[in-house]
A and B are shown apart, each in its own frame.
Chain A
Amino acid sequence: MRIACPLCGERDSREFSYKGHALALERPAEDAGVAAWDDYLHNRDNPAGLTQELWFHDMGCASWLVAERNTVTHEFGAVRLAEDVKGAKP
């Protein structure tokens, strides 16, 4: 598997580590309630197909990335810096 880090270019996946669905970026408010936190921490759509997920370039630039990837074919789509994704929010 090869991941196109926006800063380092395409690199072998062994340089990266993984943190699951990108909804981890959408942290609820501390008083959002039990259900919202349960959804944030535990419940997942877990799609067989396209998903948005977090990768960390441990052995590279130490960037957190948001990558589109297909969980059935392992094919990657766009890879963006998590900082940019957060910045892109209104």
Chain B
Amino acid sequence: MRLAGKGLINRNKRVRFCFDGRDYEGFEGDTLASALLANGVTLMARSFKYHRPRGVLTAGSEEPNALVTVGKGSSQDPNVRATVQEIYEGLEAVSQNRWPSLDFDVMAVNDLGAPFLGAGFYYKTFMWPKAFWEKLYEPVIRRAAGLGAISGAPIEDKYERAFAHCDVLVIGSGPTGLMAALTAAEAGADVLLAEEDSALGGRLLSESGEIDGIPARDWAAAMAEKLAGMDNVRLMTRTSVTGAYDGGTYGALERVAHHRPLAKGLPKECFWRIAAKRTVLAAGALERPVAFQNNDRPGVMMASALRAYVNRWNVAPGQKIALFGNNDSIHDVAADLLAAGVHIAALIDSRAEATCALDVPFYAGAQVCGTDGRKQLEAVSIARASGVEKVLVDCLGMSGGWNPTLHLTCHMNGRPEWREEIAAFVPKVGMVPGLMAAGACNGAFSTAACLGEGVGAAQAACEALGLEAKAPKLPSAENRPYRIAPLWAVAGKGRAWLDFQNDVTVKDVKQAAVENFRSVEHMKRYTTQGMATDQGKNSNVQALAVLADATGRGIPETGTTTYRPPFTPVAIAAMAAGAADKGFAPERFTTSHRLTVAANAPQIEAGLWYRPSYFPAKGETTWRQSCDREVGYVRQAVGICDVSTLGKIDIKGKDAGAFLDFLYTNMFSTLKVGRVRYGLMLREDGHVMDDGTTARLADDHFVMTTTTAAAGEVMKHMEFVSQGLRPDMDMRFASVTEQWAQFAVAGPKARALLNEVLDSPIDGESWPFMACGPVKLGGVDGRLFRISFSGEHAYEVAVPARYGESLFATLKARAEALGGGVYGMEALNVLRIEKGFITHAEIHGRVTAFDIGMQGMLSKKKDFIGKAAAQRAGLLEEDREMLVGLKPLGAVKQLMAGAHLYNAGAEPVRQSNQGYITSVGFSPTLGTYLGLGFLRGGRARHGETVQMVDHVRGVATTCEVCHPVFLDPEGERSRD
């Protein structure tokens, strides 16, 4: 029911919204919870396990009950707290986890079975028959479990991520946060104030009372205005600081557009990474429930929430209200309710000595021991020494005291300490370096104390930053002591809820203790206490007090469980903003990319690069046809392939040769200028890291190529070797992969083609095999390397990247005129398999030079990276798996990469495994499949017959073991 009064709602702006298919009206400024309460809707959800009817418990992000689904289709947001969701015109929300309806939920039958569904019951049953878990029990449990649902449609809403930096981060904008922000800002600090709510003021927005002689809410508004006018202050509302991380880094979620229809281009949320030099935590405190029989009925809520609904939203959640608590705050709530004209049927204070200044039915030394009603609270039972009295009410506000909102202080594993006089945990200093807790989150509950602690924390932060913060005149404010007599659970029969959402009751915790789950972590895990979406914000302290009692220990000895990030749940889409679809990783394109796409070449990913798989020609229906044709270009005419993705590293300096000697297993300092050499690089663990060619362009100038896959790793490795091991060497290097476009020109007509494009023609004498040097193409300075990855007479020609596309087009056209053309990765792979050239399919990380038959390349004349480790006995044994070639022999003329090898006649089981196949290609040149693989002791087994079994795809054949070079073993073609 809506009350008169001046809350923070705009009565001139009516807002229509829909809940569970019914239309309602609220005011601008309402949350979904306040608007539903104003419309008399108290049943908003069902609990997780017993499907008990539930209403709203709180007025904040800690809400455990009133979770709803907002929006539809790809915008559907499950598990939205109705207490945080601001209403807007056209908002659509539905209740969750009920069937067929919220009002009539079949699963509520669970509640009847509660005696059998207590703590950990599922660990003791569902074991017979064995197969029934997956077939029956689990599917049923899974369908019944879960809260809201995701729509299944890909997200179309926009999300963002951003960084922010500040001198002082202030978390929370109640009296503490406002004073802290102002104090730090006036000292000249760059201040960022993050507030979870839609407006600044914290609890001042919901409470009566005065600061500096004016209503506290007006004081907060004035402070907000003042801060907003300062250039060095950033105010971020609707922003929850979700995590405290190392080095003053905080995660924060800004709900940019949950409070209005999504405008085009506007993100729904933004996830911030805030780097703060100092932080003031001013997060306030959360009121905690009292456990008593059936304390979970719709209509039972926190007293502070009741106060907020009345004061801030001008909503009376009931007509006849009772208040029950163990501390002074229920009296303040009662006063506010009376002032708003709400009828109070009973004020129940558990403290026997308590007095009441208000004109209400007052019960001192009394406890609520039960409630009536099912979908709506109808009465409370009040237990006193004189007996139990039932009072008809439709709403109960309860207060078991206040817990400082210290969650962020625990994110770095710090444990808070118990403070007996407020019966609560408070943070210890230094739990998060650079962060100081102040005000209610530090256990200071009066407004005056909060104001003072806010100033103090800001001054300390400023001092640490070398800024002088003057002490402002503190505004006058209420400074009453906080008086509480701990009351965790009211004695009695029946179920008394601790964790509302997960349906954990006092009985469950006691049973856990009986079963020796006495550690607080055991109790939590056994009962699921504190594991719901509120992560125990509303229940952990009471639960561990019950456990402490059940185990005969005090609360400090019992300890707490750990709070971990995030403080409030964060959408995956927010933390991953930008990563959907292709946004996950950068895309790298070669200069010929446009032309290869235009030629309809399917693209494959090679690391972050895209490369053409093959270039389909007219009439070809399979990739094999294209591949065979392209292989033919290279073997018979000339083929062109973009090889720019290979890493290129330019190395210059007096010691460049010596540096390469240290990096590679073989010698480079002896390489002549104008020549290229193949090099093998090991990791320090003695296994092959990479291979490639390096060209010497001048005495002090080399260009190294790496494989596409290992380019980054090799570069980093070189930086380590140069900076960390040999900083004495006079040499510098830089990656020039992007700077040069490089193309293979391969085949018997390669030289003829090149002579059409080079400004000065070349011949065999000036450019023998493995020669390199500068060339000019149409006046452009380029480089030419006579190297071959196909075994043919071949070159690689490089030009500055801006000429890449043009050169590719020219080479393509001229190759076609000579009866050749461009070739893709498939053909490249077949060409290199025919020649037994290795790629990372063979040097896959676990192989040594010895394994691939390159032990001769391990220089004995010098030290090099990996030399010592490569000499370990276990890496040199003759029964290691060694590189071999394989040809199919039997009826099945097919080899499969990934298939395993076994001796002829052996049973194909793990125990008799002899090796595996790494690469397979059909050689159109030799008319057969060819394979490369590793075979135990393979070097000594050429000519032997082995079985290939591809168990998983059901292919088996016999094959002949041979030398891995199938074609032109003497290398005559490349030298001609």
Q: Do A and B come from one complex?
A: yes
Binding site for B on A (CB under 8 A): 1-3, 10, 12-13, 17, 19, 24-25, 27-32, 34, 37, 41, 54, 56, 58, 62-64, 73-76, 81-83, 86-87
Contact B727 A76 (CB under 8 A): no
Q: What chain A residues lie within 8 Å of B863 (beta carbons)?
A: 29-30
With A2-B275, A34-B872: A82-B723 Cβ-Cβ less than 8 Å: yes
Contact A28 B868 (CB under 8 A): yes
Whole-angstrom distance between the Cβ of B727 and the nearest chain A Cβ: 4
Contact B275 A64 (CB under 8 A): no
Whole-angstrom distance between the Cβ of A78 and the nearest chain B Cβ: 15
Q: What chain B residues lie within 8 Å of A1 (beta carbons)?
A: 245-247, 249
With A30-B867, A64-B723, A81-B723: A2-B872 Cβ-Cβ less than 8 Å: no
Q: What chain B residues lie within 8 Å of A19 (beta carbons)?
A: 720
B685 at the interface (CB under 8 A from A): yes
Most buried by A among B275, B723, B867: B723
With A30-B868, A41-B869: A25-B249 Cβ-Cβ less than 8 Å: no
- Which residues in chain B, 861-880, are within 8 Å of chain A measured between CB atoms? 863, 867-869, 872
Q: List 20 A-B contacts (CB under 8 A).
A: A1-B246, A1-B249, A2-B248, A3-B247, A12-B273, A12-B275, A13-B246, A17-B716, A27-B684, A28-B868, A41-B869, A56-B716, A58-B716, A63-B723, A74-B246, A75-B246, A82-B723, A82-B727, A83-B724, A86-B723
A12 to B249, CA, bound (A): 9
Binding site for A on B (CB under 8 A): 163, 245-249, 273, 275, 412, 433, 684-685, 716, 719-720, 723-725, 727, 863, 867-869, 872
A44 to B719, CA, bound (A): 23
Q: What chain A residues lie within 8 Å of B248 (beta carbons)?
A: 2
- Other than the given A1-B249, A82-B723, 14 more pairs (CB < 8 A) read A1-B246, A2-B247, A2-B275, A10-B247, A13-B247, A27-B684, A30-B863, A30-B867, A30-B868, A37-B868, A41-B685, A41-B869, A82-B727, A87-B727
A54 to B717, CA, bound (A): 13
Partner of B249, one of A2, A41, A81: A2
Contact A83 B716 (CB under 8 A): no
Contact B275 A82 (CB under 8 A): no
A75 to B720, CA, bound (A): 24
A6 to B246, CA, bound (A): 19
By Cβ-Cβ distance, the 5 closest A-B pairs, closest first, are A2-B247, A1-B246, A30-B863, A74-B246, A83-B727
Q: What chain B residues lie within 8 Å of A76 (beta carbons)?
A: 247
Output the nearest chain A residue to B720 by Cβ-Cβ distance: A64
Whole-angstrom distance between the Cβ of B429 and the nearest chain A Cβ: 15
A25 to B726, CA, bound (A): 9
Whole-angstrom distance between the Cβ of B78 and the nearest chain A Cβ: 30
Whole-angstrom distance between the Cβ of A16 and the nearest chain B Cβ: 11
Output the nearest chain B residue to A42 by Cβ-Cβ distance: B685
With A12-B273, A30-B867, A41-B869: A24-B724 Cβ-Cβ less than 8 Å: yes
With A25-B724, A30-B863: A64-B247 Cβ-Cβ less than 8 Å: no
Q: What chain B residues lie within 8 Å of A86 (beta carbons)?
A: 723-725, 727
Q: What chain B residues lie within 8 Å of A54 (beta carbons)?
A: 720, 724
A35 to B508, CA, bound (A): 57
A80 to B863, CA, bound (A): 28
Whole-angstrom distance between the Cβ of A9 and the nearest chain B Cβ: 12
Q: What chain B residues lie within 8 Å of A28 (beta carbons)?
A: 868
Q: What chain A residues lie within 8 Å of B685 (beta carbons)?
A: 41
Q: What chain A residues lie within 8 Å of B716 (beta carbons)?
A: 17, 56, 58
Whole-angstrom distance between the Cβ of A53 and the nearest chain B Cβ: 12
Q: What chain A residues lie within 8 Å of B720 (beta carbons)?
A: 19, 24, 54, 56, 64
Contact B724 A64 (CB under 8 A): yes
Whole-angstrom distance between the Cβ of B607 and the nearest chain A Cβ: 15
Output the nearest chain A residue to B273 by Cβ-Cβ distance: A12
Contact B868 A32 (CB under 8 A): yes
Whole-angstrom distance between the Cβ of B869 and the nearest chain A Cβ: 6
Contact B247 A62 (CB under 8 A): no
A40 to B282, CA, bound (A): 49
A6 to B724, CA, bound (A): 16
A56 to B869, CA, bound (A): 24
Whole-angstrom distance between the Cβ of B326 and the nearest chain A Cβ: 38
Whole-angstrom distance between the Cβ of A18 and the nearest chain B Cβ: 11
Whole-angstrom distance between the Cβ of A25 and the nearest chain B Cβ: 5
A76 to B245, CA, bound (A): 13
Whole-angstrom distance between the Cβ of A23 and the nearest chain B Cβ: 11
Contact B684 A41 (CB under 8 A): yes
Partner of A27, one of B273, B725, B872: B725
Output the nearest chain B residue to A75 by Cβ-Cβ distance: B433
Partner of B725, one of A25, A62, A73, A74: A25
Q: What chain B residues lie within 8 Å of A17 (beta carbons)?
A: 716
Q: What chain B residues lie within 8 Å of A3 (beta carbons)?
A: 247
A59 to B723, CA, bound (A): 17
Q: What chain A residues lie within 8 Å of B868 (beta carbons)?
A: 28, 30-32, 37
Q: What chain B residues lie within 8 Å of A27 (beta carbons)?
A: 684, 725
Most buried by A among B163, B249, B275, B727: B727
Q: What chain A residues lie within 8 Å of B723 (beta carbons)?
A: 63-64, 81-83, 86
Output the nearest chain B residue to A57 by Cβ-Cβ distance: B719
Contact B246 A82 (CB under 8 A): no
A62 to B867, CA, bound (A): 26
Output the nearest chain B residue to A84 by Cβ-Cβ distance: B727
Whole-angstrom distance between the Cβ of B849 and the nearest chain A Cβ: 15
Whole-angstrom distance between the Cβ of B262 and the nearest chain A Cβ: 30
Whole-angstrom distance between the Cβ of A2 and the nearest chain B Cβ: 3
Whole-angstrom distance between the Cβ of A88 and the nearest chain B Cβ: 11
Whole-angstrom distance between the Cβ of B316 and the nearest chain A Cβ: 49
Q: What chain B residues lie within 8 Å of A75 (beta carbons)?
A: 246, 433
Most buried by B among A13, A17, A41: A41
Output the nearest chain B residue to A11 by Cβ-Cβ distance: B275
Output the nearest chain A residue to B862 by Cβ-Cβ distance: A30
Whole-angstrom distance between the Cβ of B970 and the nearest chain A Cβ: 35
Contact A56 B246 (CB under 8 A): no
Q: What chain B residues lie within 8 Å of A63 (beta carbons)?
A: 723
A63 to B727, CA, bound (A): 12
Output the nearest chain B residue to A36 by Cβ-Cβ distance: B868
Q: What chain B residues lie within 8 Å of A2 (beta carbons)?
A: 246-249, 275
A82 to B722, CA, bound (A): 10
Partner of B719, one of A24, A41, A56: A56
Whole-angstrom distance between the Cβ of B808 and the nearest chain A Cβ: 31
Q: What chain A residues lie within 8 Å of B724 (beta carbons)?
A: 24-25, 54, 64, 82-83, 86
A2 to B716, CA, bound (A): 21
Q: What chain A residues lie within 8 Å of B273 (beta carbons)?
A: 12
Output the nearest chain A residue to B248 by Cβ-Cβ distance: A2
A29 to B716, CA, bound (A): 22
Whole-angstrom distance between the Cβ of A79 and the nearest chain B Cβ: 12
A54 to B247, CA, bound (A): 18
Whole-angstrom distance between the Cβ of B650 and the nearest chain A Cβ: 14
A27 to B720, CA, bound (A): 12
Q: What chain B residues lie within 8 Å of A56 (beta carbons)?
A: 716, 719-720
Output the nearest chain A residue to B684 by Cβ-Cβ distance: A41
Whole-angstrom distance between the Cβ of B433 and the nearest chain A Cβ: 7
A17 to B863, CA, bound (A): 27
Q: What chain B residues lie within 8 Å of A73 (beta carbons)?
A: 412, 433
Output the nearest chain A residue to B685 by Cβ-Cβ distance: A41
A33 to B843, CA, bound (A): 27
Output the nearest chain B residue to A32 by Cβ-Cβ distance: B868
Output the nearest chain A residue to B865 by Cβ-Cβ distance: A27
Q: What chain A residues lie within 8 Å of B725 (beta carbons)?
A: 25, 27, 86
Q: What chain B residues lie within 8 Å of A58 (beta carbons)?
A: 716
With A2-B246, A41-B685: A64-B719 Cβ-Cβ less than 8 Å: yes
Whole-angstrom distance between the Cβ of B475 and the nearest chain A Cβ: 36
Output the nearest chain A residue to B867 by Cβ-Cβ distance: A30
A3 to B275, CA, bound (A): 12
Whole-angstrom distance between the Cβ of A11 and the nearest chain B Cβ: 10
